[in-house]
Structure 1
Amino acid sequence: MTDRVKTASLLATAAMIICPASAASAQDASGEASAASSGGLEEIVVTARKREESMQDVPASISALSAGELDRRFDSDVRDFADSSPNIVIDDTQQGPGGVAAVYIRGIGVADVEKSVDPAVGVVFDDVYIGQSSGSLLKAIDIDRVEVLRGPQGTLFGRNATGGVINLARSRPTYDLTGKARLTYGRFDTWKIEGVASTGLSENVAVKVSGAYEKSDGYIFNRVQDQPGQRSKFYALSAALLFEPTDNLDIQLSYDHQKTKQDPPQLLAINRPTDLFCVAYAQCSPSPGVPTSGDRYVSVSDGRLERNATFKLDMAIAKATYDVGSDMQVDYIFGWLKTDEEINQDFDAGPQTLYHTDRPARWRQTTNELRLTKGGSGPLTFVLGAYLWDSRYTINLKNYIGFAGPPLLTSAQDVTQTNKSWAIYGEADYEIFDRLTLTVGARYTKDRKSSIVNDLPVFIYGTTVEANPIATLPGSIVMAAPVKESWKKFTPRVSLRYELSDEAMVYALWSRGYRGGGFNGRPATIGAATIPYDPETLDNYEAGFKTEFAGGRVRLNGAAFLMKYKDMQQDLDVPAPGTSTGRENRTINASSAEFKGVELDLTARLFDGFTLSGNLGYLDAKYKDFFGDIYSTGTPVDASFLKIRRAPKWTWSLGGIYEADIGSNASAWIAGDVHYIGGHEITFLNNPNLRNNGQYLVDASINARFNQTTVSLFGKNLANEKGWTIGYDVQGVWSYAAPRPRRTWGVAVTQAF
């Protein structure tokens, strides 16, 4: 056993191997107390299928975290929810401000910063789909419920989701005065203040307000500038209104504003002896896989460090629910999201200006969704929906290049892309006879996208100062009008569920996922700018079981799946001779791929006060038929030998919680968990210097509650794993990466009322 494994094991043992990691209750505190007093597990109620139902009745792979469980965790953002479900990897790619999510479920996801690429895993926030990777690392503020659905989910959600969905929901405003506030101090001089409060204004109007402020020096030190290299400040404000004018109508309105000001993320150069930046500029890694700085948490970047990177988010959501009787209701959901970001980032990650970019970008999305839902206990339940999507994305990219021959040249590119999509979808359950239920779903989607790209002149300077150019060249791409393309697809879903008893059921399903085609968002040639890549489709075959036994003290769920990909989309960097950068990013279609695996979720109340939980995921992901020009030599090659990114063979979590009364109106608990992510590739071409070995992520906390005041001491990544969260190859020139956050600890005081 290695020292790292020993360390993780000892820390896990010391923490009682606790904190439920697979599934959690969606009950309120009284429901949890009742379940605990009876000695069994509380029922898990989920709403992912647009109606309240027991998770044990859902014929699909799903995990959940409720408000009660979230209250006992110390999650910062969506990344921290990864241990709640098997076969999931969530990272921050550090390629922009505000957090750029790489969310992968069962090896399926997207790690590209460009908003031209549709996410493969949907992040849904209060019924609104977040259509870009930037900003989808949502902060864990006032989150009431987290549900992770694995596999294609097009028949229940407004947008398609090939790999799965992370469904986040906040609490409704309450008429009684309720709320809580938390003050946290942690390592790296990190301060966090969070609060939420709700009350009624009249007998049919309630409001809720929440806010957060966070500052940190970050976990990267910049040696060139002799100061912390990842300082940040973040604040968020939110207001929600609930209006119930009649007994069968309620209207909810919410508005969110968030802003992050930070130093640009500090990337690290991992340069091989044959890379240009090593040969020509002596920016060489001291050994394979080691950054040029010699330390994964030390930067040698000469980029700006004045918190000049900003990310602003504004979101408005309106929901109206009308109860039409007979267990039927109509829902209308309007969503509007705007993000604005600015960043000047050092991508060469060295003390010279070899490749920097200035990337101001704007994103707008508007969604309209109308649903008819029938619940109840009758033989037929269903959801029918219509969905309209409209988004627009603009980036004004400017490159500062010092490796192309002269001391400095600048090239600029303006890109605007639009996406209009509409869909109709539905899913119905029909009880054929007692204990046997058939589920049928379908979706029809039509996407229409446009793209216009224009390069500005290239300026060449005789010095490293951007002044008095010595030459000017025209840009490579000039488009008078946008190019347009449209795609349409019908995607069905069928499942069969059989209840063996009141405590056990088995199911089998087939579903098809779809992700539309698109246009490259960072082209360097006219062909890459105007020729779209194709849609991808995925067939998912799944069989599973859900059981409870030992008097309701043990819950064990499992699934086996086989997913077959056609025209799988992959992004990579390729040479582009004769252009200003000599490179371009392209999205290509691999011919086919196959994913198969197994997932298990376990929760057990071993004795009163102690609950043990865990999950296990096994994944075998392979290209089956992939013949393409991956090296941009003009000659296609058989590329099926490549391993698929972020598809670890094994993932698992083991955790639990032990709680006991320590006096009148006082209790204490200790909690912790170990989350294992197996070795995996993070670059398309499987660069061995940017490969992740297996990682043991250990979290733990000690907590005491006195009346409504809770004091907690917590630690995260206690085994101090240093795996890469992003790795990117610029073939033959250089590679860059960023490490996961370092070991941290802190103290939190939470006051409820």
Structure 2
Amino acid sequence: MSTASKFDMCHQVSKSRPPGAAGWQPPRPKMSGVGRGRADMINRYRTITLLASAATLPLGAQIAFAQDARPADDPVQVSGGLDVIVVTARKRTENLQDVSASVSALSQAELARRFDSDVRDFASASPNVIIDDTQQGPGGVAATTIRGIGVADVEKSVDPAVGVVLDEIYLGTSSGNLVKAIDIDRVEVLRGPQGTLFGRNAIGGVINLARSRPTDELTGKLRATYANYDTVEAEGLVSFPLTEWAAVKFTGAYRQSDGYIFNEFYNQDGQRSEFTALGVQLLLNPTPNLELSFSFDDQNTRQDPPQLHNLAKPSDLFCAVYGQCRVDLTTPQSGDRYVSVSNGPLNKNAFFDMNLGIARATYDLGSDLEVNYIYGRMETDEGITQDFDGTPLTLYDTDRPAVYHQDTHELRLSKGGNGPLTFVVGGYYWDSAYTIDLVSYIGFAIPGTILAIPQTVRQTTKSYAAFFEGDYKISDRLTLTLGGRYTHDKKTSGVNDYGFGPNDNLDNPEEADWSKFTPRASLSFDVTEDVMIYGLYSRGYRSGGFTGRPTTENTAKTPYEPETVDNFELGFKSEFADRRVRLNASAFLMKYKDKQEDVDVPAPTGTGRENRTINASSAELKGIEIDLTARPMDSLTFNANLGYLDAKYKEFIADTNNDGILDDNSGLALRRAPEWNWTLGATYEIAVGPGEFWVSGDVHYIGAHEISFLNNPSLRNDGQYLINGSLNYQINNTQISVFGRNLANEDGWTIGYDVQGLWSYGAARPPRTYGVVVTQKF
């Protein structure tokens, strides 16, 4: 392919996109508009940036799917204006401004100047997004909420409500979903149901991550970080060609930290961790029309179990009988949210190991048609003995060894080009299984006695889907988009529990299946070349299933049903002031039906507690979202977003305490659904001596919100101002930075859980962190 033809491809991505800088990719013919995205973007990458942050992931952990049209050190600009951002939110390559949906994106250039630790740090880039670590297991257990829709549970039986997608592979559990920020090229946050192209379990939205690709010359990056709490990080990437049609990339990362929790019971640091990651990607172009890609990543975490805090109120058993009480309404038993009194083991006995393999094949059929096949396999192995009561006594501890695997296959045909019709059509298959050999150590039932109560749960999921989405240009300005996805899910659940006696069904599991159609329709109109308005309807679907922590036989064998969300949205995309200002906004109304609620209730057997999932409620969520980027001068850039959310239950009639009485719980507030949230940031850069100096900072406000299901005031968060900043200096390929996160030292809760009648527990967000980073590119 000639350099000129590569530039032609760039122009076809968007009418506002200028030619990009030359770069290499194994030879390929001119690709169709839908499928050319990956090749187009790679053609412009002559260097691979290893985005590092205060953490690391082997998976090439974060990959972001919203990318700049050029490398971070040479961004594409239009007439001195804002960088053009290319996204693949609809499994096709488009200018962000041409997508008729709510999408926020971080370009490669923006990512290179941030100090993100993991996926949690991307929340500030989009309105109405909260991402927390539940601290309920090893390796990072995500509680991700978009527009007030999300889940916070460690059990793999609980499907995510927000999808995290890494290199086009959906990560099917909350465990391991806090992907580390390493080797990131693009980040997209898709708000609202994504049931057509991303399928089930994306009813709140999707966080789409994409990594860099191998290069045609020897390139690389090394980054070293030292931060408070004796945190040391090292990350590296190297890429080089093997032949004229083959290239390879290697990545590696290491992180160790003493953690930000001090354990008074043992008089030592209480949340130490060590993380290692290795990855390799091979890119082949054996023929002009065929591209093959293979990648494998291995990550390993060794850590102390997360330290949880006891907030038992006077009427709770742990306080009334055992004297283990909170200090006051919002202060845990230890007297400090960063001090633990837990007697759980602290010898880095918790581990989380993950392998991810991905194979891709792309074939250009000509006539703007392209076939893509993506296969992914993820395996995890984890173990942890954790003190959930958070006290110096052994009242409620668990040992949770678990294994999980998932296999996914996706085959799709794409049509691009400049004709009136473009589309994506395909099929999808999912196969996953997990087994947990849980042992609960109960010390509150019989004073002076610790009961070890074992339970094994094994669940499987198989899912088939067919999908279609197409655009039809009714006129040069008016475009109609129609799409739909048919999904069929089948799940099994087997339990071995001594409390069930002869009715254990581990080898003869219960089965259930569900089918659902999730449509999508939008109409967009180009008011001018730089202003587009749109209307959108979409539906999301979250699968039914079986409870993963049953105590009674009835709960173990009774499935819960799917839930759905219908989204109605109006929005506009605009650029003005010679494309120095980009302003996007949307207003939405979402109707949540058959909402799955996880309730913890007393039980007559086993541990005396039971977690049940019930379809007991409906809700309505409406709001406004605004994204603004402005570059008033070449040296100064502002970024801002604003989210307003009105999230309320419409009806919630259920027995939430197992007393046999149906109660009206409609007055409860949805969790992680603040009314207001916003971010305001700026970057100023200037030439100083032989190099470039820049300062960046942002304030991310999260309004008051509930964390616990029962809206426990002890676990309620007031408004929080999360302030981040950095000072940076770069000479040639060497960069030195000083950064700080959460500079106001906000200590809001990231998890809150009420074990009714016994106690409540919580964990706080990471406190103020700061450090020095040295980055060397070659």
Partner of 1:481: 508
* Residue 54 of structure 2: aligned partner: none
Q: Distance in 2 between the 1:48 and 1:541 partners?
A: 18
Question: 8 Å contact 1:316–1:337 — kept in the other structure?
Answer: yes
Q: Does 1:636 align with 2:662?
A: yes
Map of 1:736 onto structure 2: 761
Are the counterparts in 1 of residues 668 and 711 from structure 2 also a CA contact under 8 Å? yes
Q: What's the secondary structure of 1:386's corresponding residue? A: strand
Whether the aligned pair in 2 keeps the contact of 1:477 and 1:525 (CA below 8 Å) is no
User: Residues of 2 paired with 1:454 and 1:373: CA distance?
Assistant: 46
Runs of 4+ in 1 over 2 A off after TM superposition: 22-25, 29-34, 157-160, 473-480
In 1, distance between residues paired with 2:651 and 2:149? Answer: 17
Contact 1:23 1:84 in 2 (8 A): no
**Which residue in the other structure is 1:680 paired with?**
705
**Residue of structure 2 aligned with 1:524, choices 535, 551, 554:** 551
Is the Cα–Cα contact under 8 Å of residues 572 and 585 in structure 1 kept in the other structure?
yes
Which residue identity is paired with 2:213? R
1:624 aligns with 2:650: yes
Which secondary structure state, in structure 1, belongs to the residue aligned with residue 474 of structure 2? strand
Residue 541 (structure 1) aligned to one of 549, 568, 576: 568
Residue-by-residue CA offset, 1:496-555 (whole Å, 9 max, x unaligned): 000000010100011111111000000000111000111001110000001111111111
Aligned to 1:8: none
Superposition deviation, residue 160 in structure 1: 4.3
TM-aligned CA distance change 1:184 to 1:288, over 3 Å: same
Give the 3-state SS of the residue equivalent to 1:75 in structure 2.
coil
Which secondary structure state, in structure 2, belongs to the residue aligned with residue 618 of structure 1? Answer: strand
Q: Deviations over 1:594-615 (max 9, x none)?
A: 0000000000002121000100
2:454 aligns with one of 383, 387, 412: 412
1:169 aligns with 2:194: no
Taking a change above 3 Å as real, the CA distance of residues 392 and 124 of structure 1, as seen in their structure-2 partners, is same
Deviation at 1:262, TM superposition (A): 0.2
Is 1:354 paired with 2:395? yes
**Secondary structure, counterpart of 2:446 in structure 1:** coil
Find the partner of 1:43 among 76, 79, 84. Answer: 84
User: How far off its partner does 1:23 sit?
Assistant: 12
Query: In 2, distance between residues paired with 1:377 and 1:196?
Result: 38
Find out whether 1:403 has 2:430 as its counterpart. no
Given that 2:240 and 2:249 are in contact with CA atoms closer than 8 Å, whether structure 1 keeps it comes out as yes
Distance in 2 (alpha carbons) for counterparts of 1:228 and 1:515? 40
Question: Match of 2:325?
Answer: 284
Q: Give ranges in structure 1 of 5+ residues lacking alignment.
A: 1-21, 458-472
Instruction: Give SS of 2:69's match.
Output: coil
Residue by residue over 1:276-318, the C-alpha shift from the partner in whole angstroms, topping out at 9 and shown as x without a partner, is 0001111111111110000000000000000000000001000
2:344 maps to 303
For structure 2, list consecutive stretches of 5 or more residues without a partner in the other structure.
1-63
- Aligned to 1:404, the other structure's residue is in SS state strand
SS of match in other structure, 2:354: strand
1:27 corresponds to: 69
Identity of aligned residues (%): 62
Q: How far did residue 591 of structure 1 move?
A: 2.9
1:189 aligns with 2:261: no
SS in 1 for 2:77: helix
Q: Which amino acid aligns with 2:395?
A: L
Pick from 413, 421, 427 the counterpart of residue 469 of structure 2: 427
CA contact (8 A) 2:71 2:109 kept: yes
The answer for the alignment partner of 2:148 in structure 1 is 107
Aligned to 1:695: 720
SS at match of 1:278: helix
Contact 2:65–2:89, Cα closer than 8 Å, also in 1: no
Query: Which residue number corresponds to residue 9 of structure 1?
Result: none
Could you say what secondary structure the match of 1:680 adopts?
A: coil
Distance (whole Å) between structure 2 residues aligned to residue 495 and residue 122 of structure 1: 22
Mapped partners of 1:30, 1:312: distance in 2: 32
Deviations 1:607-630 (A, max 9, x none): 121000100000000110111111
Alignment of 1:307-706 (within 5 A): 307-406=348-447, 407-456=449-498, 481-576=508-603, 578-664=604-690, 666-706=691-731
Distance (whole Å) between structure 2 residues aligned to residue 401 and residue 348 of structure 1: 10
Distance 1:696 1:711 in 2: 27
> Shift of the alpha carbon at 1:189?
0.1
Q: Indicate the SS of the match to 1:83.
A: helix
Q: The residue matched to 1:729 in structure 2 has which SS? A: strand
1:23-56 CA distances to partner (integer Å, 9 max, x unpaired)? 98612148955527x3311211111212211100
Which amino acid is the alignment partner of residue 435 of structure 2?
A: T
Counterparts in 2 of 1:475 and 1:599: CA distance versus 1, 3 Å: farther
By how many angstroms is 1:274 displaced?
A: 0.4
Map 1:91-106 to 2 at 5 A. 91-106=132-147
Residues 375-384 or 249-258, more deviating: 375-384
d(CA) in 2 for partners of 1:713, 1:126? 30
Mapped to 2, the partners of 1:489 and 1:675 lie a distance apart of 38
Q: CA deviation at 1:687?
A: 0.6
For 2:417 and 2:510, the matched residues in 1 are separated by 48
> In the aligned structure 1, how far is the partner of 2:385 from the partner of 2:109?
41
Contact 1:23 1:601 in 2 (8 A): no
Deviates more, 1:185-194 or 1:168-177: 168-177
Deviation at 1:579, TM superposition (A): 1.0
Q: Distance in 2 between matches of 1:98 and 1:286?
A: 30
The separation in 2 between residues aligned to 1:373 and 1:84, in whole angstroms, is 30
TM-score with structure 2 setting the length:
0.90
Provide the residue aligned with 1:722 in structure 2: 747
8 Å contact 1:420–1:448 — kept in the other structure?
A: yes
**Of the two structures, which has the highest relative contact order with CA contacts closer than 8 Å and spacing of 6 or more?**
1
Q: Which amino acid aligns with 2:777?
A: A
**One-letter code of the match for 1:296?**
R
**Distance change in 2, residues 1:222/1:30 (3 Å):** closer
Which residue identity is paired with 1:568?
K
For 2:56, the equivalent position in structure 1 comes to: none
Aligned length: 714
Shift in alpha-carbon separation, 1:535–1:159, aligned structure 2, 3 A: closer
Aligned partner of 1:12 in structure 2 is none
Q: 1:86 to 1:639 in 2, by over 3 A?
A: same
**Alpha carbons 1:310, 1:341 under 8 Å: kept:** yes
Corresponding position of 2:39: none
For 1:465, the equivalent position in structure 2 comes to none
Which secondary structure state, in structure 1, belongs to the residue aligned with residue 232 of structure 2?
A: strand
In 2, Cα distance between the equivalents of 1:672 and 1:681? 28
8 Å Cα contact 1:355-1:401 kept in structure 2: yes
Task: Call closer, same or farther: CA 1:479–1:257 in 2, change over 3 Å.
Answer: closer
Secondary structure of the 2:81 match is: coil
Amino acid at match of 2:573: K
Contact 2:297/2:357 (8 A) holds in 1: yes
Query: Structure 1 residue 476: deviation in Å?
Result: 8.7
CA distance in 2: counterparts of 1:505 and 1:527, whole angstroms: 53
Q: 2:130 aligns with which of 85, 89, 108?
A: 89
Q: Which residue of 1 aligns with 2:738?
A: 713
Structure 1 position 374, deviation (Å):
1.3
- Displacement after TM superposition at 1:376 (Å): 2.2
Q: How does 1:60-75 map to 2 (within 5 A)?
A: 60-75=101-116
Q: Deviations over 1:254-293 (max 9, x none)?
A: 0000000000000000110101000111111111111000
Instruction: Find the aligned partners of 2:450 and 2:127 in 1 and give their Cα distance.
Output: 48
Give me the whole-angstrom Cα distance separating, in 2, the residues matched to 1:454 and 1:30.
53
CA RMSD between the two structures? 1.5
Amino acid at match of 2:584: N
Q: Structure 1 residues 112, 719: closer, same or farther in 2, change over 3 A?
A: same
CA distance in 1, matches of 2:191, 2:545: 24
